[in-house]
Structure 1
Amino acid sequence: MSWGRFSSAALVMKVMSLQFSQASAQASRRLRCVMQHVSSSTSANGQSDTAITLLQPVVTHNPKALAQGSPFPPLTPGVLRLYNMRFCPFAQRTKLVLEHKKIPHETVNVNLKYKPDWFLKLSSLGLVPVLQLDDLVIPESTATCDWLDDTFPGQTRLTPSGNLRRAWDRVLLENVGKISDAFYALRRKEDLKDKILDKLEKRLLWYENILSDRGSPYFGGNQPAMIDFLLWPHFERLPALTVLTSNPRITPDSQHLPWLATWMEAMLQLPAVKATLQDTNAHAHFFASFGTGTPNYDYGLDE
């Protein structure tokens, strides 16, 4: 290599080094700026996640679903609010965690066909659940449940500490939607009824085998864990599907799916499940009304 070439290469390396140093310094300044913003935002909010304390609600809201044109129910500072729909399995997940952990909260039910404008401002997707605490708004079932578990751990966290168990719980959660799909598929595709039921049976057997391998009364072990509360709403609705299809294969029983049947019986004894449970006839009626295009969100409520 000639001296000229070496000198040119050295110059290029020096320029690159200078550019890298400048970029690094700029990145550091940006990071400090972001951290200062986060710090100031936390201070402006007045409390960190771990410092949140809740007040007991003193107002009992009308349990009927609020529809388009209804006024926004005023917030009480310090009171956690759940925007809910009584027959939504995803909102029920959040309600289960709230009840199990005995977290003070109020519930506002929403008409998801004719959504109030104020609800669409809170949730641009127009979906429940949504949690609101003063200026804090959190949508989506798993996000709200994780936030509740992190912020209000109580005596026992519901989320497992083991990486492998958490990963497999995620697999269980990702597949439970295939059970719910059967409800709507059977309403739309009567000609494929047997095929849909066969797929549902295979999915239930998959859960049966996993629970059997775990060898515990709950998917979470000897005590219910987050995965149990995330799965339960979909299984709670299986008896209603049995009623609608007149097919006993759907609901787990002690002869064909003994582990799932025992798990369902154990879940039904939990106070949180009792507090959020809709009976089989109510679920069946709601699904039937949903199929007609006029879902009855207030079924079972006194006039």
Structure 2
Amino acid sequence: MRISTFSSQELIMKVMTLQFPQASALASRRLRCFMQHVSSSSSANGQTESNITLLTPVVTYDPKTLAQGSPFPPTTPGVLRLYNMRFCPFAQRTKLVLEHKKIPHETINVNLKYKPDWFLKLSPLGLVPVLQLDDLVLPESTATCDWLDDTFPGQTRLTPSDSLRRAWDRVLLENVGKISDTFYALRRKADLKDKILDKLEKRLRWFETILSDREGPYFGGNQPAMIDFLLWPHFERLPALTLLTSNSRITPDPHHLPRLAAWMEIMLQLPAVKAVLQNTNAHAHFFASFGTGSPDYDFGLEE
């Protein structure tokens, strides 16, 4: 059994400095509960104050989504769990960091239209991702990714040490959501297609300029950084939107956006991206099913 060990003292100090301005009071209470859990003289695993063990899960759950009425899948002390939805770009961020850092974890996929009652107790807003480890319950993609990077730095931290670079990464993160808005705007407002595509092209050119100013093929430089994994899920879905709309203006190509096109190609070669990737047809199918009001969360899974 593979075990990852990390310092509880460093974890406590970092968690205490995190700020989640949009977090609910319940989420804040759960964070405090986790800090108490980490700082206690013994954990649920019987570990000492200085260490918490993270165990490799020995149970593999069915990848199909759990919906309303399904029983709660029992947790195992010391096993990190991700509550996920296979086609959610935000949950994919957390999954990418888990895979890239090779952090032992198990995944529970949740039906987000017909949510189980036990999931709503863990995530009152009904959103994924959510991480759970014993008494820890932590929601939101950026919060979970930051916590994973702080807790399991590995050989190289994904978050840059330079404060200005971190600030600019935040700017990129704030703007990538506008790309995702295009997915739904094009389907809801077909009569405004040209204006929507003009805005999308402008945003993509902006990302192209930022990437051109950075050293290396990644937004993180010569190696992928946290910002690459936070941005990737939104770009991964662009070819599916191209397929659905038959419009080549959507996906970056080597002639018009060469740096972005090269970045997308090199991201596709990362083991973490390969492990989590949904192909273009799968994304297109999910978008189409979402538009009908019956999202096909389990598309592509064997019966």
Secondary structure of 1:214 counterpart = coil
CA distance in 2, matches of 1:236, 1:40: 36
Q: CA deviation at 1:41?
A: 5.5
Q: Are residue 139 (structure 1) and residue 142 (structure 2) matched?
A: no
**Residue number in structure 2 paired with 1:7:** none
**Residue number in structure 1 paired with 2:65:** 65
Secondary structure of 1:65 counterpart = coil
Deviation string 1:183-224 (CA, Å, 9 cap, x unpaired) is 011111111111111100100000000000113200001000
Aligned partners of 2:42 and 2:49 also within 8 Å: no
Deviation string 1:167-186 (CA, Å, 9 cap, x unpaired) is 00000000000000000111
1:264-275 matched pairs, under 5 angstroms: 264-275=264-275
**TM-score, normalising length: structure 1:** 0.85
**Residue number in structure 2 paired with 1:285:** 285
1:1-303 matched pairs, under 5 angstroms: 42-43=40-41, 45=43, 51-303=51-303
Q: Which moved more, 1:209-218 or 1:237-246?
A: 209-218
Q: CA deviation at 1:52?
A: 3.0
CA distance in 2, matches of 1:298, 1:40: 36
Q: CA deviation at 1:135?
A: 1.3
Deviation string 1:82-105 (CA, Å, 9 cap, x unpaired) is 000000000000000000000000
The amino acid across from 1:90 in the alignment is: F
Q: CA deviation at 1:49?
A: 9.8
Secondary structure of 1:82 counterpart = strand
Identity over aligned residues, as a percent?
84
Aligned partners of 1:49 and 1:151 also within 8 Å: no
CA distance in 2, matches of 1:264, 1:49: 43
Aligned partners of 1:52 and 1:151 also within 8 Å: no
Aligned partners of 2:67 and 2:115 also within 8 Å: yes
Classify 1:53/1:99 alpha carbon distance in 2 versus 1 (closer, same or farther; 3 Å): same
CA distance in 2, matches of 1:86, 1:145: 17
CA distance in 2, matches of 1:284, 1:50: 47
Deviation string 1:62-119 (CA, Å, 9 cap, x unpaired) is 1001000000000011110000000000000000000000000000000000000000
CA distance in 2, matches of 1:158, 1:110: 28
RMSD of aligned C-alpha atoms?
Answer: 1.9
Classify 1:111/1:152 alpha carbon distance in 2 versus 1 (closer, same or farther; 3 Å): same
**TM-score, normalising length: structure 2:** 0.85
Aligned partners of 2:43 and 2:52 also within 8 Å: no
Secondary structure of 2:252 counterpart = coil
The amino acid across from 2:272 in the alignment is: A
CA distance in 2, matches of 1:241, 1:265: 17
The amino acid across from 1:74 in the alignment is: P
Q: CA deviation at 1:39?
A: 9.7
Equivalences, count = 268
Secondary structure of 2:131 counterpart = strand
CA distance in 1, matches of 2:218, 2:50: 29
CA distance in 1, matches of 2:52, 2:248: 47
More helix by proportion, 1 or 2? 1
Classify 1:252/1:40 alpha carbon distance in 2 versus 1 (closer, same or farther; 3 Å): closer
The amino acid across from 1:200 in the alignment is: L
**Residue number in structure 2 paired with 1:21:** none
Classify 1:214/1:202 alpha carbon distance in 2 versus 1 (closer, same or farther; 3 Å): same
Aligned partners of 2:215 and 2:222 also within 8 Å: no
The amino acid across from 1:288 in the alignment is: A
Q: Which is greater in Rg? A: 1
Classify 1:49/1:279 alpha carbon distance in 2 versus 1 (closer, same or farther; 3 Å): farther
**Residue number in structure 2 paired with 1:3:** none
Aligned partners of 2:39 and 2:49 also within 8 Å: no
Aligned partners of 1:50 and 1:151 also within 8 Å: no
